[in-house]
Amino acid sequence: MSALLKINNLHIFYGSIEALKGISLEVNEGEIVTVLGANGAGKSTLLRAISGLLPIKKGKIEFEEKELNNVPAFEIVMRGISHVPEGRKVFATLTVEENLNLGAFTDRKNAKLVSERKERVYNLFPILEKRKNQLSGTLSGGEQQMLAIGRGLMSNPRMLLLDEPSLGLAPLLVKQIFKIIYEINSQGIAILLVEQNARKALGIAHRGYILETGNISISGLSPELKNNKKVQEAYLGGAALKKIK
Amino acid sequence: MRIFLEQMINGLTIGSFYALIALGYSMVYGVMKLINFAHGDLFALGSYLGFTLLVWGNAYVTTNFGLAGGMIAAMLIAAIGIGMAGILVERIAYRPIYPAGRLPAVVSALGVSIFLENMIMVIWGPRYQAYPVNVVPTVRFEIGGIHITLLQIIILILSFILLAFLYYIIQKTTFGAAIRASALDRDTAALMGININTVIFFIFALGPALGGTAGVMVGMYYRQISFTMGWNYGLKAFTATILGGIGNIPGAMVGGLLLGIFEMLGSAYISTAYKDVFVFLILILVLIFRPRGLLGEKIAEKV
Ligand SMILES: Nc1ncnc2c1ncn2[C@@H]1O[C@H](COP(=O)(O)OP(=O)(O)O)[C@@H](O)[C@H]1O
Ligand SMILES: [Mg+2]
C-alpha cells in the first residue's frame, strides 16, 4: 500500500524562527493518523504547510505521489485535501448554508452536486439544516465546529486535516465530534488529526506521532503509544496519576 | 409637502450617484483593507470618457444609434474603460506594494489620485467642460404637482438596476459569498479553493466600472464637469461608505442614498451654503452612536 500523503524532512520557518525542524510522516489510504503535542509544538504549522498556506523552506510534501510544494493553497483543495482550521474559522457574517456552499466553491457551477453534498452534511449534522439560514457567528461553539467539519466535507476530499476539533468543547460534545470523525473515516476519507486531547485522539486513530517543539520524538501504532511511558506521563496524565498513588 | 417630495427625488438622484461610487470604496476596503483614494478620480475619468464620446463622436453616434444609443454607448464605454483602468491601477500601483504593508499602499493610492487628476487636466484642460444638452430630451413630468424630469427617471431606474444587480451578485451568489469570505479571512477563504487574485481582479474591475457609469450620469445630470470632480464626489461617496458601514455592500447603497437625501433636505430647509455641514453633522452623529455605521455589524466569534 502506497502512502496517500508523504512528508519528507519538512522544514518550516516563520522569519528566522524554525517551527518545524525536519519532519517526516505518512498517512495511508483509509487511515486516521493523529499528531499530538503541547501548545506551540508546531501542529498547526504542519497542517498549514500541507494545505499551502506556508512556504516550504526545505523538504517535500507529496499527495497521491504528486508533489504539493509550491502548489498555491486554493489549488490544494482541488487535489483532494480539505483543511478544517484551528478555532473553526467559520465565516461569521455568512449564513450556515453560505459557509457550506463555499466548502464546495470549486464545484459551484454544478448545483446538483453541491446540493447532494449538502444533503450528506445535513444527514451527518441535522442541527446545521435547522440553522441553515442563521449567521454562523451566532452558532454555539459545538455547532460551529460541526459547520467547520461539514464545510470541509463539501469539497468531497480524499483526506481531511483536522486541527484540534475538540478545543474548548464540553465533554459530551467532544465525544460526539470524535464519533463523527470516526464515521467520516469509515466512509473512506483518510484523516490527519491534530490534537491536545491525546486520550480521545488515540482512541480513534490507527497510528500517531508525538511532536515536540518542531521535532517528531515518538511515533507508532495507537496501542503502542498508549502503553509508552513517556507518552503516558506527558500526554495521558500519567504523572498526575502516579502522584495521587 | 411638495417641496419635501421634490427634494426627496433630487436627493435620491444624487444619492444614487454616491451609492454607485461608494460601492467601489466599500468592496476594495472590504477585501484589501485599503482606501482606494484613486476611486473618485476613476469616476471623474469615466465622466470625461463619456463626455468625449458624446461630444467628439456625437454626430456619428446619434445619427447611427439615436439619442438613447448615444447615452448607452457613453455609459458602456465608461464602464468598460474605467473597469480596465481600475485593474491597471491595482496591477501597477498597489500589487507591487502590498508586501510592504498597508500604509505604503494608501500613500500609493493618494499618488494615483493626484496623477489621474492631473492627467485629466492635461488631456481635457483645466476649465469646465459641458456635456451636450441633447443627450436626453429635456422633458418634465408633473405627477400630483411634483415635478420630475425624464433624465431623473432614467437615472433612478438605471441606478436601481445596477444596484440590484450588484446586490444580487454579492449577497446571493456563491462567488459573492467568496468575496465576502475573502474580506473576513483570506487564509480560510483560500482553504475553500478561492483564488484571492480572481476576487481582487473582480472588485477592481466592477467597482470602478460602476463609478465610471456614475460619472456619465453626473455629466448628463449637471452637464458641467471639471477635473476636480473626483475629489468632491469621492469625498461624499466615501462619507456615504462610512455612514453605511465600510466593507458592507448594502450599507454603501443605503449610505449613499441617505446622504443624497440629507444633502437635498439640508439645502432646502437649512441653507444651500451649509448643506455639507448638515451632511457631515449627521455623519458625526451616526458615528457617535453607531461607530460601525448604520448597517455595519460585528458578530463576535464564539470560541
Ligand atoms: N505567524 C507566526 N509567526 C511567528 N511565529 C509563529 C507563527 N505561528 C506560529 N508561530 C510559532 O511557531 C511555533 C509553532 O506554532 P503552532 O504550529 O501554532 O503550534 P501548535 O499548533 O502546536 O500549538 C510556536 O512557537 C509559535 O509561537
Ligand atoms: Mg495549533
pLDDT of residue A245: 43
Task: Decide: B26 and B251 in contact? Cβ < 8 Å.
Answer: yes
What pTM, to 2 d.p., does this model score?
A: 0.93
pLDDT of residue B7: 92
A51 CA from centroid of ligand 2 (Å):
14
pLDDT of residue B297: 62
Does residue A34 sit at the B interface (CB-CB below 8 Å)?
A: no
Which helix (H) or strand (E) element contains residue B104? helix B102-124
B277 or B261, greater pLDDT = B261
Q: Which ligand is nearest to the CA of A163?
A: 2
The answer, yes or no, to whether any atom of ligand 1 lies below 6 A from the CB of A6, is no
How does strand A3-14 pair with strand B129-130? unpaired
Distance of CA A203 to the CA centre of its chain: 16
pLDDT grade, residue B300 (50/70/90)? very low
pLDDT of residue B299: 45
Task: Decide: A146 and A90 in contact? Cβ < 8 Å.
Answer: no
What is the secondary structure of A24-66 as a DSSP string?
A: EEEEETT-EEEEE--TTSSHHHHHHHHTTSS---EEEEEETTE
Pairwise CB contact (< 8 Å): A105 & B174: yes
Taking the C-alpha atoms of residue A147 and residue A142, their distance in angstroms, rounded to an integer, is 9
Say if A242 falls within a structural domain.
Answer: no
The answer, yes or no, to whether any atom of ligand 1 lies below 6 A from the CB of A112, is no
pLDDT of residue B59: 65
Which CATH number does the domain housing residue A227 bear? 3.40.50.300
pLDDT of residue B68: 75
* Greatest Cα pair distance in chain B: 65
Say if A193 falls within a structural domain.
Answer: yes
Pairwise CB contact (< 8 Å): B299 & A93: yes
Torsions phi, psi for A194 (to 5 deg): -95, 130
pLDDT of residue A171: 94
Q: Which residues of A168-191 are buried (b: 16+ CB within 10 A; e: fewer)?
A: ebeeebbebbbebbeebbeeebbb
Judge whether residue B92 has pLDDT over 70.
yes
Question: What total number of domains does chain A contain?
Answer: 1
Say if A128 falls within a structural domain.
Answer: yes
B27-44 average pLDDT score: 95
Does residue A51 sit at the B interface (CB-CB below 8 Å)?
A: yes
Which residues of chain A does B175 touch, with a Cβ-Cβ cutoff of 8 Å?
A: 108
Say if A127 falls within a structural domain.
Answer: yes
Q: What is the dihedral of CA B142, B146, B152, B157, to 10 degrees?
A: -90
Taking the C-alpha atoms of residue B174 and residue B273, their distance in angstroms, rounded to an integer, is 46
How does strand A58-63 pair with strand A66-67? antiparallel
Q: Where are the beta strands (DSSP E) in chain B?
A: 129-130, 140-143, 146-149, 224-225
Tens digit of each residue's pLDDT, chain A (245 residues): 579 999 999 999 999 999 999 999 999 999 999 999 999 999 999 999 999 999 999 999 999 999 999 999 999 999 999 999 999 999 999 999 999 999 999 999 999 999 999 999 999 999 999 999 999 999 999 999 999 999 999 999 999 999 999 999 999 999 999 999 999 999 999 999 999 999 999 999 999 999 999 999 999 999 999 999 999 988 887 544 444 44
Q: What is the pLDDT of residues B147-159, one digit of tens each?
A: 999 999 999 999 9
Least confident of A170-174, B127-131, B160-164, B278-282: B278-282
- Determine the structural domain holding residue A34 and report its residue range: 3-235
Judge whether residue B288 has pLDDT over 60.
yes
The answer, yes or no, to whether any atom of ligand 1 lies below 6 A from the CB of A48, is no
Judge whether residue B303 has pLDDT over 50.
no
Does residue A138 sit at the B interface (CB-CB below 8 Å)?
A: yes
Identity (one letter) of the amino acid at B145?
A: G
B247 or A183, greater pLDDT = A183
pLDDT of residue B62: 67
Taking the C-alpha atoms of residue B90 and residue A63, their distance in angstroms, rounded to an integer, is 35
Which CB contacts under 8 angstroms, 24+ apart, belong to A228-236?
Answer: A231/A36, A231/A198, A234/A38, A234/A210, A235/A36, A235/A198, A235/A210, A236/A198, A236/A199
Taking the C-alpha atoms of residue B165 and residue B169, their distance in angstroms, rounded to an integer, is 6
pLDDT of residue A1: 58
Say if A27 falls within a structural domain.
Answer: yes
pLDDT of residue B148: 93
Residue of chain B minimizing CA distance to A140: B302
Average pLDDT of chain B, as a whole number: 91
Q: Which ligand is nearest to the CA of A21?
A: 1
B298 or B140, greater pLDDT = B140
Judge whether residue B301 has pLDDT over 50.
no
Say if A194 falls within a structural domain.
Answer: yes
SS3 B225: strand
pLDDT grade, residue B214 (50/70/90)? very high
Say if A167 falls within a structural domain.
Answer: yes
Helical segments of B195-274, H only: 196-222, 229-244, 249-269
Task: Decide: B211 and B39 in contact? Cβ < 8 Å.
Answer: yes
B122 or A2, greater pLDDT = B122
Taking the C-alpha atoms of residue A217 and residue A237, their distance in angstroms, rounded to an integer, is 18
Does residue A78 sit at the B interface (CB-CB below 8 Å)?
A: yes
Domains of chain B in sequence order: 2-289 (1.10.3470)
Judge whether residue B234 has pLDDT over 50.
yes
Say if A244 falls within a structural domain.
Answer: no
Distances (CA, A) of A176 to A148, A172, B204: 15, 6, 45
Pairwise CB contact (< 8 Å): A151 & B187: no
DSSP state of A105: G
DSSP state of B299: P
Q: List the grid coordinates of B12.
A: 435620491
